Chains A and B, each alone.
Chain A
Amino acid sequence: MIFLLFLPSLLLLVVVFLLPLFRYSWLSFHADSVVTGLIAIPNGVANWVRLSLDQRYWQALGQTFRFAVVSVSFELILALSIALLLDQRWRGRNAVRAIALIPWALPTTVMALGWRWILNTPYGPIDRLTNLIGIGSLNILGEPGLAWLATVLADVWKTTPFAALILLAGLQTIPSDLYEALRLEGANSLSSLRRITLPLLRPYVLLALLFRLAQAFGVFDLIQVLTGGGPAGSTESVALYAYINALRFLDFGYSATIIISSFIFICFACLICWFLIKVLFTPQRSFLKKVS
C-alpha cells in the first residue's frame, strides 16, 4: 500500500525525466532532420560517429566543463563566506539577507541583458571606467578570453546567492552547544570552523555543489543572451550547440545525440564530485569523534 503514496511523484519522474530520456536515446540512432523531411529514419551509429569526429562538439564540451568547474568553485567559496557572514548576529542582518538574494531572483535573461550593456564597448560603464583609469578599451565581449571570463563573472554574480542560501540553511542546523564545548577546550574560531562547521556542513556543500554543477553544465540562457556563443565560438556551451542543431539547423537526430552524450558526461562528473567530497570532508580526525 505504501507504493501508492509515492506513485504520483514516480509518475511525474517518468513523464518529465524518463520518457524524454528514452525518446532522445532512441532519436540519437536516427536521422531526423530537414533533409529527411523531419521523419526519423534509423541510421545506426552514424550520429555517434559524427559526434566523435565533431571538433566543435569537443570544443564546446571542453568549454562547458571549464566554465562549470571555474564558476562553481568561485561560487562555493564566495557562498561559504557569505553564508558565514549572514549566520552571525549583527544589526541589519535580515535586510542584507534579503538583498543578497536579488541576483538570484532576477530572471537570467534579464540579468544577462544587463551585463551585456554594462560590458558593452564603447558605450557601457565598464568601458568608460577602463578608459578613465588609463587601461583603454578592453572590448570585453569581442575578445574570446575576456568574453569567456565575462560569462563566468555573470554566472558567479547570479548564482552565488543560491549556493549561499543552501549553506546558510546548513549552518543553522548546527547546534550552538558544539561550538561552546569546543570553546571551553580553548580552541579559536578558525579551528571551530575546521572541526565543526565544515564537517557538519558537508551534506549541504555536496547538495549545493551537485545542484550548481548540473545547472552550470547545462548553461544556456546566460550564454545565448550575453554572447550568443561567440566570439569565434569561444563561449559556446554544449546545451547551446544542441539547441542550435535542433532549432536552427532542424537536425533533431544529431541534437538528441549531443544531449544524451552530455547527459552521460554530467552523470560521471557528479559521481566524481560526490566521491571527492566524501574523501575531502571525512570527519575522521574532527572534533565530532571526540565528542561522541
Chain B
Amino acid sequence: MRRIIILKRSLASLLAILVCIVTVNLAEANEIESISFLFPAPYAEATRDLVQQFNRENRGKIKLSVIRGPFATEAMSDLAISSLILGKAPFDGLLMDVTWLPKYAATGWVEPLESYFDQDDVNSLAVGAREGNSYENHLYRWPLVADMGLLYWRTDLMKEPPKTPEELILISKSLQKNNMVDWGYVWQGRQYEGLSCVYLEMIEGFGGYWFKTNDNKIGLDQAAGVEAASWLQSLIKEGVSPQAVTNFAEQEALQSFRAGDSAFMRNWPYAWAELQQADSSVRGKVGVTTMVANPGYSTATNGSWGLTVLSGSSHIDAAVKAIRFLTSDESQKQLFLKYGYTPTKQSIFDDPFLLKEAPIISELGRALKVTKPRPETPLYAQISDVLQRQLSGILTVEQTPGNGMVHATRNTEQILISAGEQR
C-alpha cells in the first residue's frame, strides 16, 4: 500500500516536471515581446484606445503597456529620474517633455534613434515639430504631440485679438472699465516652469533672447529682458491681471477664463477642448491666436512631448514600432479630434477634412511656425530655476525688474562657471 502511494507520488511529480518543461518550451516558441512606456496621466488616458489597437494588430508578437504617471510635468520628471538613477529602468520608453532631452542624453539614459528614423521621416514633420528632438547631432526623441503657448481671447468681447503688448493692456482696461470682465489677462505667474514659458514668449516678443547655447550668451539683463519682466509686473500693478496670478498655474488660469472672468488667457492647446465643454461659460466664444509681441516677433514656447527609448531596453525594435504606430497620421488625427492634442505631421495641418471640421487647426499650425525652444542644455533645469525665482520676486514686487534680471544673469553665469569647473 505504502509503496503504491510513493509510486503515485513520484509519478505525479515526474508529470509536473514534464508539464513545466513543455510549457517553458512552448512559451519560448512564440515569445511575446512585452514593452512598457511611462506616460504622464493625461497622455496615458488619451492613448488608451490607440494602445489597445496596437496590441490587437500585434497580437502574439508585441504587448505594449502604458504606465500611468503623475499629472504634473515636474512630478513626472521626478518619478522618471528617481527610477533611472537606480540603474535599470522598469520601462522601455518614456514620453518626455522637450526640456528634459539634453539632460537625459548627456547622462546616456536614452537610446539614439537616427538608425530608425530617416530624413524622409524628419521631413514629414511640421517645421516647428522638428525642434527639440536632437542633442549633439543625435536624434533621441520622436514627437507625439506638438505643444505651444497660445493666447486665448473672447470673440464676444472684441472683433480682433490684440497683436502687441500695449494693445492687450488697452483692450483689457477698457473692458474692465465697462464691467464686461473682472480681469483682463490671466497667465501662469507661479514660481514654476510655466513662468519661464510665459517669460520666453515675452522676451522674444520684445526682440530679445534668453540664452544662446552656442556661445553661452545670456540676454536676460539686456533691454528686451528687462522690458519683458517690467511688462509682466505692470500687468499686476495696473490691475489688468489679478494679484493672485502670482500663484496661478495653467489650471487656475483656465478656471478664471472658463468662468468668463477674464478677457485673455495664456495656455496650451489642451485648454481649447476644456473651454468647449457643456458647463463652460465661454463655450463658442473663444478664439486662439499667437502671443502678443512687437510686430514680427510673435513667439510661442515649444512645449512638445515626444517618445524616447531608454538605453538598456532589450526591445528597441518593438519600442520603435510602437512609437511609429502612436505617431502615425491616423493616431495623430484621433488624438487631435478627441483630445485636442496638436499633431506633429505637416500633412495633418493640410488635411482639407480637418480644416473644415476643426478650423482651429489652422491657428495651431500658424503658432507652430513661430515656436521657440527653451535653452537646450543639460543645465536647463538650473537656468530656468534661477529665472523663475527672480521673476517671482519681481512679480510679488519685492524686486525691481532691472535688479531682478541682473541677479538672474549673474546666477546663470555662476551655474555655467561651476559646471565648467566640473567638466
A residues sitting closer than 8 Å to B (CB atoms) are 31, 33-38, 41, 43, 46, 50, 56, 120-123, 137, 139, 141-144, 228-233, 244, 247-251
- A56: B residues at CB distance < 8 A: 389
Q: Could you say which residues of chain A place their CB within 8 Å of the CB of B82?
A: 247
Q: List 19 A-B contacts (CB under 8 A).
A: A34-B106, A35-B106, A35-B378, A36-B423, A122-B256, A123-B252, A139-B243, A139-B246, A142-B190, A228-B190, A228-B191, A228-B192, A232-B396, A232-B399, A233-B191, A233-B392, A248-B385, A249-B379, A249-B382
| Contact of B385 (CB < 8 Å), options: A33, A137, A141, A244 | A244
Q: Does B393 contact A (CB under 8 A)?
A: yes
Q: Which 5 A-B pairs have the closest CB atoms?
A: A230-B191, A142-B247, A142-B246, A121-B244, A232-B393
B351 within 8 A of A: no
Which size class do B's interface residues fall under?
35 or more
Identify the interface centre among B78, B81, B246, B421: most chain A CB within 10 Å of its CB.
B246
Tell me the nearest residue of chain B to A34, going by C-beta. B378
Write the residues of chain B forming the contact surface with A, with a CB cutoff of 8 angstroms: 74, 77-78, 81-82, 85, 103, 106-108, 189-192, 242-247, 252, 255-256, 378-379, 381-382, 385, 388-390, 392-393, 395-396, 398-399, 418-419, 421-423
Residues of B within 8 Å of A230, CB to CB, are 190-192, 247, 388-389, 392
Among B78, B378, B382, B389, the residue within 8 A (CB) of A247 is B78
Chain B facing A: main interface SS: helix
Tell me the smallest distance from the CB of B107 to a CB of chain A, in Å: 5
Chain A residues within an 8 Å CB radius of B378? 34-35, 250
B396's partner among A120, A144, A247 (CB-CB below 8 A) is A144
Contact, CB under 8 Å: B103 / A123: no
Chain A nearest CB from B112 CB (Å) reads 16
Instruction: With CB as the reference atom, state the residue of chain B lying closest to A32.
Output: B422
- Give the contacting residue for B243; candidates A33, A142, A228, A244; CB below 8 A: A142
Q: In the assembly, what is the distance between CA of A121 and CA of B82, in Å?
A: 33
The CA of A56 and the CA of B386, in the complex, are separated in Å by 10
**Which of the residues A46, A142, A144, A251 comes within 8 Å of B244, measured between beta carbons?**
A142
Interface residue from A36, A122, A229, A244 paired with B422 (Cβ < 8 Å): A36
Find out whether the CB atom of B255 lies under 8 angstroms from the CB atom of A142.
Answer: no
A35-B106, A38-B85, A232-B393 known; 19 new pairs, CB 8 Å cut-off, are: A37-B107, A50-B418, A122-B256, A137-B243, A137-B244, A143-B246, A144-B398, A228-B190, A230-B190, A230-B389, A231-B191, A231-B393, A231-B395, A233-B191, A248-B74, A248-B77, A248-B78, A248-B81, A249-B382
CA A167 to CA B324, docked complex, whole Å: 63
Q: How far is the CB of B81 from chain A (nearest CB, A)?
A: 5
Report whether B422 and A43 are in contact in the complex, using a CB–CB cutoff of 8 Å. Answer: yes
Name the distance in Å between A76's Cβ and chain B's nearest Cβ. 31
In the complex, which residues of chain B have a beta carbon less than 8 angstroms from the beta carbon of A43? 421-422
Contacts of B422 in A (CB 8 A): 31, 33, 35-36, 41, 43
Residues on the B chain within 8 Å of A250, using CB: 81, 103, 107, 378, 381
Query: Is A232's CB under 8 angstroms from B243's CB?
Result: no
Q: Which residue of A lies closest to B80 (CB)?
A: A247
CA distance A36 to B418 in the complex (A): 12
CB distance from A149 to the nearest CB of B (A): 14
B398→A232 contact, CB < 8 A: yes
Please tell me if the beta carbons of A46 and B392 are within 8 angstroms of each other in the complex: no
C-alpha spacing A33/B106, complex, angstroms: 10
B243 contact set on A, CB distance < 8 A: 121, 137, 139, 142
| Contact partners of A229 in chain B: CB under 8 A | 191
Q: How far is it, in angstroms, between the C-alpha of A139 and the C-alpha of B389 when the chains are bound?
A: 18
